[in-house]
Structure 1
Amino acid sequence: MARWEPGARERLVLAAVDLFTEQGYDATTVAEIAERAGVTKSTFFRHFPDKREVLVAGQEALSRLLSEGIADAPEDATPLEAVAAGLDRVSSEMTSFNRDLGPRIKAAVAANTELQERDRTKSVGMSAAMTEALLRRGIADPTAHLAAELGMIAFRQGWARWTETDRAADVPLATYTRAALDDLRAASAALG
């Protein structure tokens, strides 16, 4: 097993997703994931604390990108415009690797209660990162929380549409997250 080959983290994610799909999350061991990825078990643990974390590996990066996008939004941006800037920043980092992996991760998560709980925790963490970024912009607490929650809904809806559409269209994720956010803005206006 060549520990020095590049892309170990990505190979570990792919191996884990494949094994979780083939034999189930509970039946899959860290040793099997490492072997499938062509790395040692210790290499696995350099990248992930446990097998559960493999499927939410990008949470910290996503939260950071959302926060940076919100922080870099124009000074006069409304809370939802700042959230849109965060969604744009995250979207700009998503590649075909992420898009192709999305439905496979969704299937693995749907098949396991523990992974579903971890996925919910990931969403809460991303929403909290957006809320904090909005609060740093001087947005009032209830407004910051609401805008962040709408941002998370838009991200989930946009992600689902992006990963389920025809790959040949090559439409960027931002198109879908922006459309979802616009739909949510219109829906919230209809609440009265």
Structure 2
Amino acid sequence: MGRWEPNARGRLVQAAMELYGERGYEQTTVAEIASRAGLTERTFFRHFADKREVLFWGGGELQELLVSSVADAPDSTAPIDAVAAAFEAAAAQLQERREHSRQRQAIIAANAELRERELIKLESFASALADALRLRGVADTAASLAAEAGVAVFKIAFVRWLATGQPDFPQLIRESFDELKALTAGAGVT
């Protein structure tokens, strides 16, 4: 086994994605993932708590990016605009991982437990964003509304990005936030 080769985490993720795609999430074991990656189960558990976390391990970093983007926004930035800028930054980070994101989303969509875990992750993003807005002096209700609306816009834009040929995910995020603003302003509502 090549267990001393570099990038064990990346190899495990690649092996898991391949196996989940070939056999399905439920039918894939940690032992099979480790074996496909040329690693041991022990190495797998050094990197991931369970096979589900292979699909969610980057969520903490993405949440940190969202929160720091809100915190770093100029003081004069409206709450929804700070959230929009945060999701644009996240989209820029995800931009180069489109095929991985497409595969990941298909795996999650096929499994109720994974869909639930994805919703928990998104709720965590909303909560962290609302807290970051409150630290900027935004009132509780406004902070929660901006954060939840931001997550909703991100979800819709993400699905559109994966389903369409549009290559620029940050631009799609901007357009989606502009649509939300137009909708809430009453423009274009029929």
Q: TM-score, normalised by structure 1?
A: 0.90
Distance 1:163 1:8, change over 3 A: farther
* Number of residue equivalences: 188
Distance in 1 separating the partners of 2:52 and 2:155: 20
- For 1:104, the equivalent position in structure 2 comes to 103
User: Which letter does structure 1 place at the counterpart of 2:169?
Assistant: L
Partner of 2:112: 113
CA distance in 2, matches of 1:74, 1:82: 8
Alignment of 1:120-139 (within 5 A): 120-139=119-138
Name which of 168, 172, 179 aligns with 2:168.
172
The equivalences for 1:57-72 within 5 A come to 57-72=57-72
Deviations 1:110-134 (A, max 9, x none): 1111111111111111111111111
Aligned to 1:32: 32
Give distance in 2, aligned partners of 1:42 and 1:21: 23
Do 2:154 and 2:173's aligned partners in 1 also have CA atoms closer than 8 Å? yes
Q: What RMSD over aligned residues (CA atoms) do the two structures have, in Å?
A: 1.9
Name the structure 2 match of 1:181. 177
By how many angstroms is 1:143 displaced?
A: 0.6
Runs (5+) with no aligned partner, structure 1: none
- Tell me, yes or no, if the aligned pair for 1:154 and 1:178 is still in contact at 8 Å: no
d(CA) in 2 for partners of 1:44 and 1:111? 23
- Please, which runs of 5 or more residues in structure 2 have no aligned partner? none
Comparing 145-154 and 180-189, the one that deviates more: 180-189
Contact kept, 8 Å, 2:95 with 2:169, in 1: the verdict is no
The alignment's TM-score, normalised by the length of structure 2, stands at 0.91
Match for residue 20 of structure 2? 20
Runs of 4+ more than 6 Å apart: none
